[in-house]
Amino acid sequence: MSAKERLAARQEKSKPLFDDMHEWLKRERATLSKSSEVIEPIDYMLKRWDGFARFLEDGRICLTNNAAERALRGIALGRRNWTFAGSQRGADRAAIMLSVITTCRLNDVDPKAWLADVFARIADHPVTRLYELLPWEWKRASAATVMLAA
């Protein structure tokens, strides 16, 4: 579904349930004693309610953090290898490259194609337009070039 369609579905189906849950939590919170074991988790959730409910206002927001966890899995599995970066500068470079590659993947851009094109063009590219080489801008420009060629 598109972000607009997800937002419409969330507003229709999730928002009423979500609002009911919020009211229920507040009602239950008022009936509990301070020594209750569930008061801390309820307080935690109520204090962070706006962040928890943000998915109801933006269809682009995922309901889970599964995509982020999958993206980090390779880094976690290679954690021991990162201790052999050689130096702080080497570790910084590895972190930058991993961030760039992950950004490409999250934007459905082939990291190898993006890097090859950016490396070929960056020396002659105007500094004031470097933003055009960012993965999401690069993808949009590449799609436009393909459409013009067709």
Q: CA dist 27 to 15, 20, 22, 33, Å?
A: 18, 11, 9, 13
- 28 pLDDT higher than 60: yes
DSSP state of 110: -
Q: At a CB cut-off of 8 Å and minimum separation 6, what does 91 contact? A: 82, 85
Q: How confident is the model at residue 61 (pLDDT cuts 50, 70, 90)?
A: confident
- 79 pLDDT higher than 80: no
- According to the model, what pLDDT value does residue 62 have? 83
- 95 pLDDT higher than 90: no
- 146 pLDDT higher than 80: no
Domain boundaries, the chain: 3-56, 66-149
Closest CA to 56 of 15, 4, 1, 5: 15
- According to the model, what pLDDT value does residue 82 have? 65
